Amino acid sequence: MYFLPARSRTPQAIAPQLSGALAASGESTSWIPLLDTALLPRPGLNAAKASANGGAGARKSVAYSSPGSGVIIGCTLAAALTKFSPQRAVLLLFPPVSERDQAGVDELEAQTTNLLSFRPIVQTIFDAQVAFNLLAGYGSEGKPTFAEVRNSIAKDVSEYLAGRVEPPAIQLVQAPVFYGYAFTAYAEFAAPQPIEQLQTAFSNLGVKVDAPEDPAPTNVTVAGESEIHLARIEPDPNVTAGAWIWGVADNLRLAVVNAVRIAEELVAEPPVQ
């Protein structure tokens, strides 16, 4: 969490918040600054910023939350594609176990070690074997449930886009990886769209798009990187106006860097007179 001095005559604080507690309670304003150029102003954001700057009726403090990596990816996809008016967009996310904090990392490590040693595995977090496996659901004792995780991401994407852009359909597959948020997306348009223009739309939002000769990004290659990385967008072999997108992001850095951008935006904005 970052606390910055407000630019007003009254004591205030501006706090980009990362724990998710304030966001879940509705007491913070989520923000993805890199998408501001592609989306209309979000209802409520300008008022919150004015309040943070000491506007009329300002509260003692204003909290800003950085959405989770899955939400940032989903919103970025929708914002990049909006000018092409896709008829449908589908996003399949492959979250790493670190999205469940250190406990998820520890469980995958323990399961991997025990399976290789032919010992019983620990299933406290996922209530299922996640090591050497892909999961479309957790065990009955896994909390939060798989459906709750998926629905939370979909809800946050929809609420952030706030009717400005149609949100994509979202599905998850739990991947047996420690770090790195991989995803694949499919978009279908009324007519074929130039691949170069699609890639430029992503680049304009701070996404790194690999050159044709570059290998596709992986969880390993994006470690320590701040941006979402995309492989070259490819047309579907059967659907003339369909396109496939593969990408990966360092899930820890993506949300943290977004929070830093929030802080930088608030510091750079001139005070309200």
* CATH number for the domain that contains residue 155: 3.30.360.10
Number of domains in the chain: 2
Tens-place pLDDT, residues 173-221: 999 999 999 999 999 999 999 999 999 999 999 999 998 889 999 999 9
Q: What is the dihedral angle through the alpha carbons of 199, 264, 250, 76, rounded to the nearest 10 degrees?
A: -40
63 pLDDT tier (thresholds 50, 70, 90): confident
Residue 273 within a domain: no
132 in the same domain as 223:
yes
Candidates 181, 185, 145; CA nearest to 167 is 185
Reply yes or no on whether the pLDDT at 172 is more than 70: yes
147 in the same domain as 38:
no
109 in the same domain as 209:
yes
Tens-place pLDDT, residues 88-105: 999 999 999 999 999 999
89 in the same domain as 36:
no
Q: Give me the domain span that covers residue 115.
A: 69-251
136 in the same domain as 19:
no
22 in the same domain as 118:
no
Q: Which residue is listed with tokens 């739990």?
A: 174
7 pLDDT tier (thresholds 50, 70, 90): very low
159 in the same domain as 198:
yes
34 in the same domain as 87:
no
88 in the same domain as 27:
no
Q: Which pTM does this prediction carry? A: 0.86
Cβ-contact 176, 133 below 8 angstroms:
yes
